[in-house]
Amino acid sequence: MFSFDDVIEDISGSGKYSLLLIAIPYYGAFAGAFLLTGAVFLGNTPNSRCLIEPYDNKNVYPNLMEDFIKEVFIPWNSKAKDYDRCKRNMFEDVGLCANNLNSTCLSQLVNSTGVSVVDCTDGYVYDQSIFEPTIVTEWDLVCARGLSNAFTNFAFYLGLFSGSIVGGILSDRFGRIKVYRTVPILMFIAVFSGAYSPNVYVYSVFRFLSAFFEFMAVVAVYTYVAEITKRDWRITIGLGYNAVFGAGCMVLSLLAYAWRDWRSLEIAISVSILPLVPLSWLMPESPRWLCFKGRLADAKKICVTMAKRNGTELSADVWSETEKHYNSENNEQGKTNTNSLKETFSRPYTRFFIVAVMFVWAITSMVYYGLILNTGSLVGNIFINNTIGGLMELLADTVAIPVISFIGFTRTNGYSLFIASVTCLASTVALQFGSHIIAVQNFATALAMIGKFGASLAFGVLYQHTVEMFATVGRSTAFGLSMMAARIGSLFSPFTVQTNYEMPWLSPVRLNE
């Protein structure tokens, strides 16, 4: 029975040229990690409290310590087990201390009966020991405006949702490489422009556009990689793509450490996209897609070139069989249905599979992206935590290669999701019963990282499993639909993480529902 894999096997030769073509999408995954996980740093919410005028003015009260101001003016939040971020004590007789330049008068207010708890009225004080302005501190996206920060991430994932389905349909219709050559410059413009946003609303628009173009590229190129790769390389190459993403997450920590101002970091992320603009023009179209579209002459020309650059030749017998297959009557009848979306849902077997795959994608994505966004809330150094998270991604995709060969895609995915669920729940329990014990906090962070390993393993396996299950006619569309379902799951992640500030135990639990 004919298989285009025979053609790929025939023209692969030493594989040097094929590996070069694969290296370009690998760089795209590396740079894409900066964009997809950048919110951990761009939207970081540092410790904050109400601004207390005039006592936070160091020119007037140089000797008032931070702990003293909190003790006097900031009420205790029993749910968060910390001083409240959004409330302050208002004393009826605080004016009596207005001209007192020492803390004696203020100390007497602690036991005052004339006190009421009110919302912050003069703004906020942020801990800027780690970051210079983030979008949160620049636009005061805390307390009543805290959902605005979550909305920027919601807009980003909405862009991923839209780009997934649009990218799948367009790459099936116009070609994988046409889409991949178009979007990098648009993505660069969107990310670069976002660095100059005057407010959170404009920033959210650019976040949406950057994600939209990013995942149009991901859907197109991931399918492309699967279609030009030999079957026995496919799992390794596919999981390697996700492993490179993990390496990008680790490097992002270095960029964020170097550029503590969110606008500078955003510009650095945009610059990392630029190399894809010329590199994408070095990639020929997928010969498998060209054959399906009936463009056999174009496909043969590309196959001959690939074979030559791989140090081999295209066999006349292999290509003769290819032409015979794609010129056959059955193929001509199959090509009359050019709607890949309709083709995917027209058969009961593929319809069942795509619905099942979309459901698993949605659940896995909610866990995966929830854990990424939750990195900034973990105990410990945010740069180290993000680096370890990236390392877990890299290790998960490396481990997946032999594990899949041993127990298969389905079991690997099931076991990895089980690991993610158990460790995140255990992390929650540890924090609830030992939140003030450093050793327990560190143990909870370690459990969260193991959860990240499990979620990353599941995510990487799903990427590869999805492109293996569907035929060329609807592969990009099926992959795009899966990405769309994944984005539905990820849309909830920003809001589950936002609950950390009122119900710290809820976010990790909801990530594993």
Tens-digit pLDDT profile for residues 387-441: 988 899 899 988 888 888 888 888 888 888 888 888 888 887 777 776 667 777 7
What mean pLDDT comes out for the span 444-453? 86
- Give yes or no for residue 49 having a pLDDT over 70: yes
- Give yes or no for residue 342 having a pLDDT over 80: no
Report the alpha-carbon distance of residue 71 to residue 73 in Å, rounded.
6
* CA-wise closest residue to 245 among 222, 213, 278, 220: 222
Per-residue pLDDT, 421: 84
Report the alpha-carbon distance of residue 326 to residue 306 in Å, rounded.
20
pLDDT tens-digit profile of 53-82?
877 888 877 777 888 888 888 888 877 678
- The three-state secondary structure class of 61 is coil
pLDDT tens-digit profile of 306-321?
999 999 999 988 888 8
Per-residue pLDDT, 330: 47
- The three-state secondary structure class of 311 is coil
pLDDT tens-digit profile of 254-306?
999 999 999 999 999 999 999 999 999 999 999 988 988 888 899 999 999 99
pLDDT confidence tier of residue 129, bands split at 50, 70 and 90:
confident
Provide the residue ranges of all domains of the chain, joining segments of one domain with +: 4-45+135-510, 48-126
- Give yes or no for residue 205 having a pLDDT over 90: yes
pLDDT confidence tier of residue 343, bands split at 50, 70 and 90:
low
C-alpha 147, offset from chain centre: 19
pLDDT confidence tier of residue 511, bands split at 50, 70 and 90:
very low
- Give yes or no for residue 508 having a pLDDT over 50: no
Report the alpha-carbon distance of residue 91 to residue 115 in Å, rounded.
4
Per-residue pLDDT, 237: 87
Per-residue pLDDT, 429: 79
Vertex 233: Cα angle to 230 and 237 (nearest 5)? 115
Per-residue pLDDT, 367: 78
pLDDT tens-digit profile of 215-244?
899 888 888 988 898 888 888 888 888 889
Q: Is domain 4-45+135-510 annotated with CATH 1.20.1250.20? A: yes
Per-residue pLDDT, 233: 85
Cα within 13 Å of Cα(321), Cβ side: 12
Report the alpha-carbon distance of residue 287 to residue 394 in Å, rounded.
30
Tell me the percentage of the chain whose pLDDT exceeds 70.
Answer: 82
What mean pLDDT comes out for the span 84-109? 69
pLDDT confidence tier of residue 99, bands split at 50, 70 and 90:
low
pTM: predicted TM-score of the whole model, two decimal places: 0.82
Q: Which residues of 403-439 are buried (b: 16+ CB within 10 A; e: fewer)?
A: bbeeeebeebbebbbebbbebbbbbbebbeeebeeee
Report the alpha-carbon distance of residue 353 to residue 342 in Å, rounded.
14
Per-residue pLDDT, 346: 64
Ramachandran bin of 167, using left for φ above 0, alpha for ψ from -120 to 50, beta for the remaining angles: alpha
Report the alpha-carbon distance of residue 189 to residue 263 in Å, rounded.
14
Give the residues across from 48 on adjacent strands.
Answer: 126
- Give yes or no for residue 475 having a pLDDT over 50: yes
Per-residue pLDDT, 329: 42
Burial tier of 474 (Cβ tally within 10 Å: 0-12, 13-18, 19+): buried
Tell me the percentage of the chain whose pLDDT exceeds 90.
Answer: 28
Per-residue pLDDT, 107: 67
Average predicted confidence (pLDDT) for the chain: 82
Which parts of 109-145 fold into alpha helices (H)? 135-139
Per-residue pLDDT, 154: 87
